[in-house]
Structure 1
Amino acid sequence: MSDAAKRWFEVADDGWRRLSASRPLGRLMLEALQNAFDERAGQVTVELGDEQVVVEDDAEGGIGDERLVYTIFLSDKPDDPTRRGRMGRGLKELLAGMDRATVETVGTTVEFSEEGRRSRENERARGTRLVLGRRFADEELVEAKRMLRLCIPPKGTTLKVASRQVRRPRSVLTLSSCHLETVIIADGVERAAMGNTTLSIYTPRRGEQAHLFEMGLPVEAWNLPWHVDVAQRVPLGEGRDAVPDRYKLAVKAALLEAMIHSYLDRNDLRSDWVHEVIAGWPLTPALLDAYVSRVFPRGSVLGGTRRANDRARQLGAHIVDASVISHGAYMSLSRVLETSDDYVRRRSSEFGGEDVEPDETQRRFADAVRWLARAVAGRVVKVRFFARDPGDAGLLEDAVTDVDKREISFNVRGPLRFEDILDAQTLGVVLHEIAHLETAEHDHRFIDRLQHLAGKTARLLGEGGPELAEALRQGDPDGHRAH
């Protein structure tokens, strides 16, 4: 490009100042800290007063070229995503937000005032001192202190804000080789790229809200319980105080994958940030399995139709209520969990597998069930027996009612006492299944029906006395009535 073309545009000082003044003081001052951190300063101090703020560091070399102090978009930083600066804007934005300023660095002092800009030589041997002048409101000084004290200074750097040292928070975990989006500068243009980096996880210091950090500098508060510091540039919006939601989700997914086995308990895994990852990030089946095994009880299935949910509960499943999770989470979990409809279809096929010809005891039991269904429910039912090893899900798994066929099936390998229909558990199962002839669901209608059947059975047995009870056990209650 020719020299003439390079001079197409000029920057209006007033416009640049208005743009810079719109950013909070604390955010602007982070721009000064990032330069000191990049230059590996041993000491960085910040003093905040009503009309003057001073930032000073002892970085060797200071600012090597005075044009870097006042030339917008001029930068001497290499194309390295582990360097904090971007496009040579930060220091200039900080200065533009002031009424007056002095930048004293190695060999050169640059002064900004109402008369303009003036440079002069000095005897400074190392480091840089910024003196920033204007009237500062109390609330912006308080917020600036809070923001600066959030910083995580690099190891080997001492940061003092308002005469108080900022200590590094307690480290929880360090994750290496995390593949995340970053920002590189190619031919003077910011470009997105992918890079391997380290995530450092810290416990927030007392009174702090957890933040996402870029190389020790706070970027944005978020809904995790920890500070997380990314050791390379992160993608930022225009105000450089927020990152894209998709990037935050990628960081959270990396944390979930690394921490789920050893660091997160069930309560942690029920947090909103974990739900966001489950709902919005493509996770491996192994990670989803680990999540399910820690969050939901054994035998969980995803909620489906109301009837399937009810039957699945009867078969011993735990229903994950679909109404309390997002569509994205439901779709992710469906990769590793059955729905209640699929579960019921699979388990129902097990019930229909092996018919059993009843023996004499079971035939008497079937006669008693048919009589009881007629006597207390006014229903004619068929009774069937099948053989299947009982599972761990409970007693109700060992009997099932087909409402359409009006057929009750009993598992001969279950715990039912066919020789005594009046055994408490056995009679409870029989009445439960007779109640299902009214409705397949465990709703209020079912409960009312079951209570009615229990009451009517108690009355029949009370009126019939020991003779009816014995006749029921023998499968011949009609014979009792004949007597």
Structure 2
Amino acid sequence: MQWFDVDKAGLRQLLGRRGKAAVVLELLQNAWDQNVTAVTVTLEKAKGSRSVEIRVQDDDPEGFRDLAHAFTLFAPSEKKGQPEKRGRFNLGEKLVLALCDRAEIRTTKGTLTFDRTGRRQSRARTHRGTIFTALMAMTAAELEETIATLRTAINPAGVVTRINGEALVRPTPIARLEARLPTEISDAEGYLRPTVRKTWIEVFAPPEGEKATLFELGVPVVATGDKWHVNIGQKVPLSLERDNVKPSYLRRLRTALVNELAEHMGGEDWVSGWAREALEDEGITDQAAAAVIKGRFGEKALAYDASDPEANKRAVAQGYQVVHGAQLSKAEWAAARRAGLLKPAGQVTPSPKVFSEDPQAKPLKTIDRSDWSECETRRIEQIESMSRRLIGEEVHVRLASDPHWPFSACYGHAVMTLNRGRLGKKWFEGPLNEGMLALVLHELAHHYEGDHLSSKYHDAICALGARLALAVREAPELLGDEVSQKTVAVASVV
């Protein structure tokens, strides 16, 4: 005695979740799996009934190989060992039969009839091919949906397929590529085992109004909502209900597509979930990663550098897009680094570094105070006095002489350095002028903030200017006996 029976009514209820269109697709895919050159599918409302007459006919010379498979669930299928075939579990006809009120399979081996009285077999047969006819309850909306779904199928090359008399026109792919993808194949004992093998992939632009879908050898499997219709040339690892795939499979497929088709992407594609998922995958190429990142952030993009705040502002001022940490996932940042992209702002638009961080660098040449000229001594003492008045503490001024050092002056830790090699000896002669005062105020503002482009630095230099005006009102001698009104441009200021 058999271990269990299958309740047709219960199976019928379960299949109702998939919809009539998905079940009828099983008939089409079974026909395509045969040695056929022509397949005809007809669906018409039955006269005087709420049912639809379904007819699927193919021209396979051998026809149905084993009629018993038409009514045996999970019978061994020769397609299990062929990854280029769609079938796995010998389910196709049984799923349709579960939803039918009456059905007949006529093939080269004979005829099977299914009706309310049960199942019976006769010797009537076809000369070639198989004819499946059935009566299935279907609303007008379900009929319309089923026909529309059948017409989205991608016709195999070399096969003429007609749906209600209208031939399926095979679309022209925008690309065809190869990739190693997971699939299923039976082992020596007939068990389906997961494996990975190279297969072809066809990519199509979805017709207007159609949602991008994943296809298995021309049969629509699941809508992805990505950019393209993607047709896989081998079995796709599916759930038993054949309506979904694992996220890991989609990720691997999306990575393969982005690697090969980045030139076909643009606009919102770069920020789409599927493109970001591909960017996170370790299999993405450096070239594809560069395309996604540049498409998303532009040609001029770099990473925010917390160690050099001013560099980030300089980058923005120079037209760069500064990418912050939260804008990319950890895996996306890893892909960017592997591709040599999004360098820190401090490496691309660094703030001025007065002194080299190289311990072997040549030290700045300074002049001993005893070797200063009278003019230099007077000017530096004047600046020290002014600085003491403006910031309220002692400021030590030292004199350097290096024309190759690219700065006129710098400030740090209450020490101001003036570079005679850039300023020239005349800078220390004559009365103070606007350019000299501008240089001093610029450097003293660094007592409060190092970042030239920050609001804190801006506020500091404004406050110093105001203090200087008030100080001169109280003590005019602060600027010397005579103050020139001539404006002198400063070549380089830090």
Tell me, yes or no, whether TM beats 0.5: yes
Alpha-carbon separation, structure 2, partners of 1:451 and 1:208: 62
Q: Which residue of 2 aligns with 1:18?
A: 13
2:39 to 12, 34, 43: 43
Alpha-carbon separation, structure 2, partners of 1:355 and 1:240: 73
User: Structure 1, residues 204-243: CA drift from partner, whole Å, max 9, x if none?
Assistant: 1121111111111111111421111110011111221111
Listed as ranges, the matches of 1:425-464 within 5 Å are 435=445, 437-440=447-450, 445-446=456-457, 448-449=459-460
Q: Which residue of 2 aligns with 1:138?
A: 140
Alpha-carbon separation, structure 1, partners of 2:458 and 2:348: 24
Runs of 5+ consecutive residues of structure 2 not aligned to the other structure = none
Alpha-carbon separation, structure 2, partners of 1:134 and 1:287: 49
Whether 1:32 aligns to 2:27 is yes
Q: Which residue of 2 aligns with 1:478?
A: none
DSSP 3-state at the match of 1:99: strand
8 A contact 1:354–1:388 mirrored in 2: no
Alpha-carbon offset, residue 324 of structure 1: 2.3
Total equivalences in the alignment: 454
DSSP 3-state at the match of 2:196: strand
Q: Which residue of 2 aligns with 1:205?
A: 207
1:42 partner letter? A
Say if 1:120 and 1:453 are closer, same or farther in 2 by CA, change over 3 A: farther
1:126 to 125, 128, 134: 128
Structure 1 stretch displaced more, 89-98 or 69-78: 69-78
Q: Which residue of 2 aligns with 1:270?
A: 271
Alpha-carbon separation, structure 2, partners of 1:410 and 1:204: 69
8 A contact 1:355–1:387 mirrored in 2: no
Whether 1:245 aligns to 2:241 is no
Alpha-carbon offset, residue 344 of structure 1: 9.4
Alpha-carbon offset, residue 164 of structure 1: 3.8
Q: Which residue of 1 aligns with 2:73?
A: 72
TM-score of the superposition, structure 1-length normalised?
A: 0.75
8 A contact 1:356–1:387 mirrored in 2: no
Say if 1:15 and 1:298 are closer, same or farther in 2 by CA, change over 3 A: closer
- Computed over aligned residues only, the root mean square deviation of the Cα atoms, in angstroms, reads 4.7
Alpha-carbon separation, structure 1, partners of 2:433 and 2:292: 44
Whether 1:229 aligns to 2:228 is no
1:321 to 315, 321, 324: 324
Say if 1:206 and 1:471 are closer, same or farther in 2 by CA, change over 3 A: closer
Alpha-carbon separation, structure 2, partners of 1:148 and 1:400: 78
8 A contact 2:211–2:223 mirrored in 1: yes
Alpha-carbon offset, residue 85 of structure 1: 0.7
DSSP 3-state at the match of 1:169: coil
Say if 1:472 and 1:459 are closer, same or farther in 2 by CA, change over 3 A: farther
Q: Which residue of 2 aligns with 1:56?
A: 56
Alpha-carbon separation, structure 2, partners of 1:236 and 1:413: 76
Alpha-carbon separation, structure 2, partners of 1:81 and 1:400: 74
Whether 1:191 aligns to 2:193 is yes
DSSP 3-state at the match of 1:170: coil
Alpha-carbon offset, residue 422 of structure 1: 5.9
Alpha-carbon separation, structure 1, partners of 2:149 and 2:81: 28
Structure 1 stretch displaced more, 69-78 or 292-301: 292-301
User: Structure 1, residues 269-321: CA drift from partner, whole Å, max 9, x if none?
Assistant: 3332211112244435565455545554567443354xx36233145485312
1:332 to 335, 356, 371: 335
Say if 1:182 and 1:78 are closer, same or farther in 2 by CA, change over 3 A: closer
Say if 1:471 and 1:374 are closer, same or farther in 2 by CA, change over 3 A: farther
Say if 1:71 and 1:346 are closer, same or farther in 2 by CA, change over 3 A: farther
Say if 1:148 and 1:366 are closer, same or farther in 2 by CA, change over 3 A: farther
1:30 partner letter? L
Runs of 5+ consecutive residues of structure 1 not aligned to the other structure = 391-397, 476-483
User: Structure 1, residues 419-467: CA drift from partner, whole Å, max 9, x if none?
Assistant: 799679x96x987775554345655545544665677789999999xx7
DSSP 3-state at the match of 1:134: strand
Alpha-carbon separation, structure 2, partners of 1:340 and 1:174: 40
Q: What percent of counterpart residues are identical?
A: 25
